[in-house]
Chain A
Amino acid sequence: MTSQTKQTEMLSGAAMVIRALADEGVEYLYGYPGGAVLHIYDALFQQTKVKHVLVRHEQAATHMADAYARASGKAGVVLVTSGPGATNAVTGIATAYMDSIPMVVLTGQVMSHLIGDDAFQETDMLGISRPICKHNMSVRRPQDIPAIIKKAFYIAQSGRPGPVVIDIPKDMTIPSQTFAYHYPSEVKLRSYQPKLKGHSGQIKKAVTALLAAKKPILYAGGGVIMGGASHELTELAQLLNLPVTNTLMGLGCYPASDKQFIGMLGMHGSFEANQTMHHADLILAVGARFDDRVTNNTKKFCPDATIIHIDIDPASISKTINAHIPIVGLVQPVLTEMLELLKQKKKKLDASAMKKWWQQIEEWRAVHGGRYDDAAPLLKPQYVIEQLSKITHGNAYVCSDVGQHQMFAAQYYGFNKPNRWINSGGLGTMGFGLPAAMGVKLNYPDADVVCVTGEGSIQMNIQELSTCKQYGLGVKIINLNNGYLGMVKQWQDMNYESRYASSYMDSLPDFVKLAEAYGHVGIRVTEPEQLIPALERAFALKDRLVFLDIHIDPKEHVYPMQIPGGSMNDMFLSKTERT
């Protein structure tokens, strides 16, 4: 059937929005209705392909969509109304932007003729979102809606991914005005053509440098996960016996249980990872961006290292640390090309040098090795995470909030698969964890999905317990409750002589009763011996949300911790030891 003979479908702007999402393969839309998007909600109501999840606050909708994208690699989609609906989504858009997460956010807007008049629920969402999204657009003609939506998905998911905002004035969606609907199969933009393959000459140079290294390290970040290159990265590391460190965003892109994995690097990185980086003569950076939470003082950063930097975003290369061999391209094809070259050459790194290097790394590993004081009578957060990992066989989707619990989860869970560790790394958004866990659970109902949080973070989006009940989301909440904003307290202990300015939370709710009030199961754990039975009970209740309120040692700090202003390997190792 040709397009001439096929009857043209006439749809309203509102119907086109929903139909385009369906044609894009969107299953869930996360949102909250309001005046400016009521036409769209009505169109949503009249079909069954795209399902809507009603949150309790728009921020949660953005985090749900974001977490779905982190777990699946596909853009999550949000629908909110104008004004406060849109501004409530801002934190979620910025969260996705900082971590390069593909997302399409549809915001309602007042009628075109009212724009600029300070109309009811009007805000300049294009202006507000401009610095925190990859791109934004507004709809000027209803018939453009399908092309704009296609373009939004293309931009969000290609190149360095990121959120795209589409602002839709209400008069673009009037039900009685219909237009010919055609969803384009592809988009071509003269001004946006992200590079795919890396430069072959540069790749050859990189392979030569790599093979000549005596003290190499592979430093892999979130780009490997979003770029779907874990398999290639693992193969490359194992082919050359390279030590591998991951950034906070890269955890899981290389199996944590493998002996070549030396832990996370950076501010709360492992002793061995930070030492290995500092002493390396070659750093192969893949999909990582040398951010300030990794490098510590850039002037003292890895003085002896030749740096190969593979990244899809040229602006990430030589931004903070100069790259000697830059390679711009998608990590997956670049790594594949490197692997082919290495296999052709049939060369390995100098065996005796590598033996010496690994001996040195093992010595570093023995120094700290993630130890913590487990003799104390109080429950240790590290122990909780270790037991959580055990009971979920290291296979759960772990969605974290922000603070000490986030670092403990990153250090002690042991991620063996990509896309399983879901946290707000760049923006550090408290309140991310619960909605993130919801977004994952909804899309992966059979998987164990955990929200690791603290009593501070969980209260930033606790209203979503209600959404969980409505959609039957059996998330397990691990609330590491120490009564303090733990990371703030840690800094106050270390830098402000323990003056706890506003880091102690009085009048906390009874979280068990609170969970029960929302129709869920609550379990309180105050003694170490209660932990394992409580975890077992929680995970046995397959379809129920279980809120585990776990009272932990309030004095615990996260270690190692880089010493500010120092090099990568300047670290505090405990309250009394430093390098």
Chain B
Amino acid sequence: MRHIISVLLENESGALARLVGLFAQRGYNIDSLTVAPTEDATLSRLTLVTHGNDQVIEQITKQLHKLIEVVKLTDLNDAPHLERELMLIKVKASGATRDEVKRCADIFRGQIIDVTASTYTVQLVGTSDKLDAFIQALAGTAILEVVRSGVSGIARGEKTLAL
């Protein structure tokens, strides 16, 4: 099953390498990974999408906890949560497809953020599923480039992952 794990990590050199190395070393999957500093400069917030059975996910969270630089972590799937991913997608937009891409972007509430005579670059935010669906919807169009940020997630309600 797919799980989104959020981690507060000491913002120190080598911490990220240690965390990623753990996944390689123990044969766990990383489907996506995003990391950036938080409002507290000493901490990084990392969101990791992985998959595995319950036993594997339990080992992943336990092994992550063991890393000295991991301050706190949570499996967002344990409770209601929000997830978002950002995609920048550059597509061929000439002739009849030019309108088609624009319509499609509107339907998905995407924004065209760069335009040339023959291309559109669309920005789209949503769940990974929605981003996948947009790519599917553009199946008839020549996709030139896709950049996805990986998932960021946060718990719904008052629950927080903070110090």
Interface size class on chain B is 20 to 34
How many Cβ-Cβ contacts under 8 Å join chain A to chain B? Answer: 35
A130 pairs with B17, CB closer than 8 A: yes
CB distance from A203 to the nearest CB of B (A): 20
B18, A130: Cβ atoms under 8 Å? Answer: yes
**A190 is contacted by which of B59, B62, B65, B71 (Cβ under 8 Å)?**
B71
Q: Are A189 and B62 in contact (CB under 8 A)?
A: no
A residues near B70, Cβ cutoff 8 Å = 191
> Are the C-beta atoms of B58 and A192 separated by less than 8 Å?
no
Chain A binding surface, main DSSP class: mixed
Chain A residue nearest to B42 (CB atoms) is A190
Interface residues of A in 100-142 (CB under 8 A from B): 126-127, 130-131, 134-136, 138
**Chain A stretch 298-339: residues in CB contact (< 8 A) with chain B:** 313-315, 318-319
Whether A126 pairs with B14 at a CB distance below 8 angstroms is yes
Partner of A192, one of B55, B62, B68, B163: B68
Asked if A155 CB lies within 8 Å of chain B CBs, one says: yes
User: Which residue on A lies nearest to B70, using beta carbons?
Assistant: A191
When the two chains form their complex, are residues A130 and B68 in contact, meaning their CB atoms are under 8 A apart? no
Nearest CB of chain B from residue A323's CB, rounded to whole Å? 12
- Contacts of B58 on A, CB cut-off 8 Å? 318
CB-contact partner of B62 in A134, A191, A314, under 8 A:
A314
Chain A residues lying within 8 Å of B14, measured Cβ to Cβ, are 126, 130, 136, 138
Main secondary structure of the interface of B (DSSP, over half): helix
State A314–B60 Cα separation when bound (angstroms): 11
Scoring B residues 63 to 95 as 1 if CB is less than 8 Å from chain A, else 0, what string do you get?
Answer: 101101111000000000000000000000000
State in angstroms the CA–CA spacing of A313 and B18 once bound together.
Answer: 19
How far, in angstroms, from A126 to B18 measured CA to CA in the complex? Answer: 10
Q: Are B59 and A319 in contact (CB under 8 A)?
A: yes
Contacts of A136 in B (CB 8 A): 14
**CB-CB < 8 A to B21: which residues of A?**
130-131
User: Which of B13, B55, B68 interacts with A135 by CB under 8 Å?
Assistant: B68
A135 to chain B, nearest CB (A): 5
Q: Inside 8 A of B13's CB, which chain A residues have their CB?
A: 138
| Chain A hits for B17, CB < 8 A | 127, 130
Q: How far is the CB of A326 from chain B (nearest CB, A)?
A: 11
Give every chain B residue within 8 A of A314 (Cβ-Cβ). Answer: 62, 65
Verify if B25 is at the interface (C-beta below 8 Å from A).
yes
Please name all residues of chain B whose beta carbon is closer than 8 Å to the beta carbon of A189 when the two chains form the complex. Answer: 68
Alpha-carbon distance between A126 and B21 when the two chains are bound, in angstroms: 12
**Contact present for A131 and B59 (CB under 8 Å):** no
Q: Are A190 and B25 in contact (CB under 8 A)?
A: no
A191: B residues at CB distance < 8 A: 10, 68-71
**Would you call B59 and A315 a contact (CB within 8 A)?**
yes
Instruction: Please indicate the chain A residues that have their CB under 8 angstroms from the CB of B68 in the complex.
Output: 134-135, 155, 189, 191-192
List the B side residues contacting A127 at CB < 8 Å. 17
Interface-central residue, A134, A314, A315, by most chain B CB under 10 Å: A315
List chain A residues, Cβ under 8 A from B59. 315, 319
CA distance A314 to B71 in the complex (A): 16
List of B residues within 8 angstroms of A131 by Cβ: 21-22, 25
In the complex, residue of chain B having the shortest beta-carbon distance to the beta carbon of A189: B68
A162 (CB) vs chain B CBs: closest residue:
B66
Chain B residue nearest in CB terms to A126: B14
Nearest chain B CB to A93 CB, angstrom units: 15
- Determine the chain B residues whose CB is within 8 A of the CB of A130 once the complex forms: 14, 17-18, 21
Other A-B pairs, 15, CB within 8 Å; known A130-B18, A190-B71, A314-B65: A126-B14, A127-B17, A130-B17, A131-B25, A135-B68, A136-B14, A138-B13, A138-B14, A191-B10, A192-B68, A314-B62, A315-B59, A315-B65, A318-B58, A319-B59
The 3 closest A-B pairs by CB, nearest first: A315-B62, A191-B71, A135-B68
Residues of A whose CB lies within 8 Å of any CB of B are: 126-127, 130-131, 134-136, 138, 155, 189-192, 313-315, 318-319
